[in-house]
Amino acid sequence: MDTSSHITPKRALVSVYNKTNIVDIVSFLHKLHVEIVATGNTAALLKEADIPVVDVADVTGYPDLLDGRVKTLHPAIHAGILANPLNKNHVQTLQKQHIKPFDIVIANLYPFSETLENPNASHDDIIEMIDIGGPTMIRAAAKNQRFVTVITQIDDYENLKNELSAHKSISLHFRQQMAQTAFAHTCLYDQSIHNWLSQKEPSPLPFQAQHVSELRYGENPHQNASLYSFDPNAPGPLNAKILQAEKPLSYNNYIDANAAFNLAHTFQKPTVAIIKHTIPCGFCTHSDTLQALKLALASDPLSAFGGIIATNQTFSAPMAQSISDNFIEVIIAPNFESDALKILAKKTQLRLLASSIKNPSPSSSSFRHINGGFLIQDNNTSFPSRKHMNIMTQLIPSEDQWDDLVTACTLTAFAPSNTISIVHNGQLIGLGSGQTSRIKAAEIAIQQAKTFNPDLLPAAVAASDGFFPFFDTIKILAQAEISVVAHPGGSKNDQQIIQEANKHNISLIQHNIRSFSH
């Protein structure tokens, strides 16, 4: 059979909920000697019109089951729809199972959308209008459009009559047109069901949010903002004990304090993180917390102005004294020494929050709004450790540099991509982040280090949140005298990157854990 030829129909399957004009089109097919197979109520209607009909139950050997939920879901029906008459195996299977093929399928679906519009329809009423057998038949026939004509729209009954009147057969072009209409029909039907379930069914989210308070405003004064909670035990600023706050926390304060808290508590050693606009502008992990604070402030003293400070240790009086000349918006720590509170009380605009990680939040997801909805993902808690790191070049890092590599790689996960971080002895000395070019990120990180800590660059290490697509960034880091660089790898140019690193006597470390943040 040439698939471009016309097909003269011999057998039709009819199953319609809306029976408008169905007697007319089936009567027309009967006059063309087309055998009619129909389901329950459709068959009864056609028999009343004196049209010879074979009931689907006589074809399948089963009556309607489950109050009509199962009628056509049977091999005798779907093998007849899906069989390819050019496939010898298909033909032999039909013959062996005594199954006759269908050339036409006429079907329309339960009135789901119409039922939704009925104010008296119950949830169960609507559920029963989710058609199963109908879409299955329609999709099967549309899939086998080379040999089967599927009619889903009452308006197309007349088109089918015209096609058969003109040719006594059905062209491939017509079958393809009807298949397109059929898939559009089932697509819109499923979309209606999806939309209803999205509105009516219980939310799949693992929480119920409770309103906490109205905020002064959002990111800008013309934006309204509110605070909600879905975990009363979560650590961080949401449930922190407020020790000092002449003015309440703002929307931006909550965002930055949360970022600072999470970064500081990612490390086991005494750590201080300073956040500005969600970006680490100061950071140090050190055996002495006071020294960690001083070095974190020294990372970028200009950007620390108006920032948020977080530490995973008690905030001591010497620490409080060391920031007496700095303008800080918020400090969040597990607790504060009483003398530290007395010193910090002089800073009336400073908010002090006490919160630790002792009761970790069960939430492991983060959310981002998009127009009309939001995205949900697992929190990024996978940071490269030394066991993940492989030396790809000749030079081997020192023991101190190994620790700095872990710190630098972790820091890249707390800044927007693209990110390059530069670390020396646990101190962040350079960070380029939020750049569309990794080269620009490296240049910004290097410039920051040269501005505030130029003497530390030669012994520092650098890390990238993503792989190096080209070796140009390696050249820039080499020019800044950085001799140890880590990246996830995975570029098609990885071998060129390695060669360039060897050329500049750089120890290139690959760990295979990307840390993008958008």
Residues forming the active site: 143, 277
Residue 200 has a CB neighbour count (10 Å cut-off) of 10
Q: Which two tokens stand for residue 460?
A: 């520092």
Could you identify the residue written with the tokens 């004009």? Answer: 21
Q: What's 170's DSSP letter?
A: B
Q: Is the peptide bond before 418 cis (omega within 30 degrees of 0)?
A: yes
Six token digits for residue 481: 């005298």
Start-to-end C-alpha separation, the chain: 56
Burial class (CB in 10 A: 0-12, 13-18, 19+), 431: buried
Cα–Cα distance for residue pair 154/22, rounded to 1 Å? 8
Distance of CA 178 to the CA centre of its chain: 35
DSSP 63-112: --BTTTTBSS-SHHHHHHHH--TT-HHHHHHHHHHT----SEEEE----H
| Residue among 293, 265, 300, 251 at smallest CA distance from 279 | 300
Distance CA 131, CA 188 (A): 13
Name the β-bridge partners of 354. 241, 333
DSSP reduced 3-state for 292: helix
342 neighbors 293 (Cβ within 8 angstroms): no
* 291-295 long-range contacts, CB within 8 A, separation 24+: 292/426, 293/319, 293/322, 293/323, 294/322, 295/426, 295/427
Is the C-alpha dihedral spanning 62, 66, 70, 74 positive or negative?
negative
In 127-235 the beta strands, taken as DSSP E runs, fall at 149-151, 210-214, 226-229
What tokens appear for 461 in the block? 């290490």
Q: Are 38 and 15 in contact (CB under 8 A)?
A: yes
Judged on CB neighbours under 10 Å (0-12, 13-18, 19+), 220 is: exposed
